[in-house]
Every structure is written in structure tokens, then in C-alpha cells.
Chains A and B, each alone.
Chain A
Amino acid sequence: MEKDKIKIRKFLSRFFRKRELLDDEDIFSLGFVNSLFAMQLVLFIEKEFGIQVDNNDMDLKNFSSINSISQLIQDKRVA
């Protein structure tokens, strides 16, 4: 999971350049992202980790922090 988190943090750094994100920090509450971010994040997760995000995963909590994104990826790999 640590390797996943490094990749996720690197991707998110494009949107949060001036801030060192904590693993459990709510990225949607920080106000840095625009309306396109959610889909960019979905595409990143699918391409980088080879999983398909679908309707069952559409809970913002799954995408709200580095920890939760990493957990989603882990869960999808197991499923």
C-alpha cells in the first residue's frame, strides 16, 4: 500500500503544489480542486492501478484522502 500511496501523492501534488498532503487529510475540503478533478482522479486510478471504478464505488469517501484512495484500490484488487 505504501507504493500505491507514493503514486497517489505524486498525482495529487499536481493539484496541491504548495501543500504537503497528509495521508488522512480530506482533499475535497481544502478547496484546491475544480469541478474536473473527480473525473481526473478516477481516470488516474484506473490507468495507474489497472482497476475499473464503477457505480458501486461512487462514494466521495472512497476518494477523499490518500488513505481512502489507497484502501479502495486494495479492496478492488481483492474483489
Chain B
Amino acid sequence: MRIELTREQMEHQEKFREFVSAEIAEGAKQFDQEEKIPDEVIKKISEKGYLGSMISRKYGGMEWDSITIGLLNEEFGKACSSVRSILTVHGMVALAIQRWGRDEQKDYWLPRMAKGEVIGAFGLTEPQVGSDAKSVETTAVKTDGKYILNGTKKWITMGQIADLFLIFAQCEGKVTAFLVPRDAPGLLIKPLGGLIGMRASMTTELKMEDCSIDEVNIIGKIGTGLSHIALSSLDYGRYTVACGCIGIAQACLEQSIRYSRDRIQFGKPLRKYQAIQKMITEMVVNTDAARLLCQKAGYLRDIGDPDSIMQVWTAKYFASIMANKVANNAVQIHGANGCSREYPIERYLRDARIAEIIEGTTQMHEILISSNAVRNY
């Protein structure tokens, strides 16, 4: 067994770091305050091909392996979780099309998504429906060669800029997936703000009032919306959120070490105090453990192993809780400075908090991981 990055993966990692340092890190505080990612940043991400990182080369994407995609999300997450979230939701839509779409859907949408000309957003959650996804209340009825959608989606990441939504609705009483272009008649988009974290993820509420789409916009078959499409998209979503959490933790760790070297109290730097050493030790070990869980998940995804699904649940569960613990320690080490906007630590803590909710709450993970364990052992 070998646990190390290939030369190619290391080269990618270095390029990701350079890009994030030059184009994202400096602006992250401003994105958070303005609750917006500037168009030029998204354009630069597109130009680098990062929005096609998960799309097949056949459609103009990078077709990177899961470990490389994990590294990309870690580096983005280290600077700005909101910017990382565009990689997540865009990829969830692209992969749904690539995995389950018809050839015409793939040929039309994927080259555009790989170039970033079309941004995707994932529309599952509703005002009354979160974890209980099979109970979505949005409906789709087929009439005269069209599907007519009615209902409301909420907390749709990147909805403010998305060109294409993957919407889940009850069709003939079964959850089914549809592609809804931004300009579909009857689709109303309302920006939402004021989130605790990932404030620049440009979330929206989507109202569909007799929203009309062509019948060819169904993805997969009636009734496969959750079992196949949402679950394979969410698998990618969870994986990238987990890797983003490693980035949050790594950023907290590095800044805490720097601070503990520089900050002098009672005549010596903080790093000399055992209580600080204990916190830093826990941050190092937990970050490393999460990274190993993600790397195992990435490896299993790349060999198409059925166990990859549970491994991703495990990795996301640990990494999101870990990021909160590490960010909390970072605040504690920074004291009042950690509570201030002058330092990025408070943003990391707020962003980490979101990671325990999105792509499955910590509690849903506990239900699934424990029931899987009880069945297997």
C-alpha cells in the first residue's frame, strides 16, 4: 500500500495553490462582506478549466481523478469556502448530466459547462423539506410535450448566477430530476442573504409558477431522481465539501501556528504554553486524519468501488465536525483577535458551521453510518 500523491497530482496541487493565492485569498474577506463573488474571479476560474475539472475530456473537461479534484477543493476551501462551493454545485449538475443524461443533453450542456459558459446549481431543498428529500413538494406534470413545474426551492447555492438548475420534483408521485434553464418561463429567482457562513455562495429561493420546460429536459427516468441522480450528485458534493473542510482546517492550523509564534504573553510566545501546544496538536492530528479519510474516499471513487459511497459519508462526517473543532481552537488561540473581522479566523469558523449542514446534516450521517455498521458487523 502506498499513500502518496503522484508527481502529476503534486504539480496540480502547486498550480492550485498559486492560483488561489493570486486570485482568491486576498479577496475572500471582501467576498464574505459583500456576499458576492466578483464575475472576474469566476471568469478566471473558468479560464483555468477548474469548472470542467470533473467533466470528461470528450466534452472539453479536465477529467481529473478524484484525488486531484480533492486537492483542488482543499486549496479553494483553504482560502474561501464560498468560492469552493461553486466547484461543488456546478460539478453536481454536470455529473448528473454526464452520468444519467441522454447523448443530446451531454452534447449540448457539458461543453458549455466545462468552459464555464453555463453555471449549474442543484435544486433539491425546499422551505418545508430538508433531509427528508423524498417528500419534496414541487410537482411536475406533463402536458403537450412540456413539463409544468410548480413549487419552491430554497437555499440554492450559486442560484444568483446559475444558468441551469437541476430541479427535483414529484412526477406521477415519484421524485424525478429535471433540467431547468434560468430563462424558463415561470421561474422566479430571489436572492437570499444573511447566512452565518459561506456568505458569498450567492444562495437563492426559486419559485416555479407554472414553469414550463421541454419534455426532453427530464434527466433519467421518472422515479429515479433520488435513488440515482441526486445520490450520485450528492456523493460528489459530499466529497468536495469534505475536502474543502480540510482546507478550512489547514488554514486555521497554519495561522494559529504563526500567531502562537508571534504573540507574546507573560514574557514568552504562546507556542511555549502547554495548553496551546495541546490545541495545536489536536488540530494537526485531526486535519491529517480527515485528509486520509478523504484520500481513501477519493481512491475508492476512482476505482468505482461500491464502498466508496459509505466512505464518502464517513469522510464528510469526520471532516466537517473536525473543521468546526479546529476553527474553534483557532479562535481560542487568537483570543479577541479570533473574534474580529481583522483576522480571517471568525470567517473560517462561520464557514465550517455550514459544512455540518450541507450535503447531509451530521445527524443524517450518524443514521446512515451507524445503520451501515450494524448491518456489516
* Contact of B309 with A by CB under 8 A: yes
List the B side residues contacting A43 at CB < 8 Å: 304-306, 308-309
Closest chain B residue to A28 by CB distance?
B227
- A39 near B309: Cβ-Cβ < 8 Å: yes
Contacts A55-B100, A58-B228 given; does A47 touch B223 at CB 8 Å: no
Minimal beta-carbon separation of B230 from chain A (angstroms): 9
- A46 near B304: Cβ-Cβ < 8 Å: yes
Minimal beta-carbon separation of B125 from chain A (angstroms): 16
Closest chain B residue to A38 by CB distance?
B227
* Contact of A59 with B by CB under 8 A: yes
Bound Cα distance from A30 to B304, whole angstroms: 26
* Contact of B368 with A by CB under 8 A: yes
Contacts A35-B231, A36-B310, A39-B228 given; does A55 touch B220 at CB 8 Å: yes
List the A side residues contacting B308 at CB < 8 Å: 43
Residue A47 contacts which of B100, B306, B375 (CB distance < 8 angstroms)? Answer: B306
Closest chain A residue to B223 by CB distance?
A60
Minimal beta-carbon separation of A40 from chain B (angstroms): 4
Residue B227 contacts which of A17, A39, A44 (CB distance < 8 angstroms)? Answer: A39
Residue B368 contacts which of A15, A34, A39, A54 (CB distance < 8 angstroms)? Answer: A34
Closest chain B residue to A41 by CB distance?
B306
List the A side residues contacting B228 at CB < 8 Å: 38-39, 42, 58
- B226 near A35: Cβ-Cβ < 8 Å: yes
List the A side residues contacting B219 at CB < 8 Å: 55
* Contact of A14 with B by CB under 8 A: yes
Give B225-282 interface residues, CB cut-off 8 Å to A: 226-228, 231-232, 235
- A36 near B231: Cβ-Cβ < 8 Å: yes
List the A side residues contacting B310 at CB < 8 Å: 36
List the B side residues contacting A11 at CB < 8 Å: 306
Bound Cα distance from A40 to B372, whole angstroms: 12
* Contact of B102 with A by CB under 8 A: yes
Count of chain B residues with a beta carbon within 8 Å of a chain A beta carbon: 26
Minimal beta-carbon separation of A8 from chain B (angstroms): 12
Bound Cα distance from A54 to B101, whole angstroms: 8
Bound Cα distance from A42 to B224, whole angstroms: 13
Closest chain B residue to A36 by CB distance?
B309
Minimal beta-carbon separation of A76 from chain B (angstroms): 15
List the B side residues contacting A39 at CB < 8 Å: 227-228, 231-232, 235, 309
- A40 near B100: Cβ-Cβ < 8 Å: no
- A14 near B100: Cβ-Cβ < 8 Å: no
Bound Cα distance from A55 to B368, whole angstroms: 27
- B100 near A35: Cβ-Cβ < 8 Å: no
Extra contacts besides A39-B228, A39-B231, A58-B224 (20): CB < 8 Å = A11-B306, A14-B376, A17-B375, A34-B368, A36-B231, A38-B227, A38-B228, A39-B309, A40-B306, A40-B309, A41-B306, A43-B305, A43-B309, A46-B304, A54-B100, A55-B100, A55-B101, A58-B100, A58-B220, A59-B221
The 20 listed contacts between A and B (C-beta, < 8 Å) are A14-B375, A14-B376, A17-B375, A34-B368, A35-B226, A35-B227, A36-B231, A36-B368, A39-B227, A39-B228, A39-B231, A43-B305, A43-B306, A43-B309, A44-B306, A47-B305, A58-B100, A58-B220, A58-B228, A60-B223
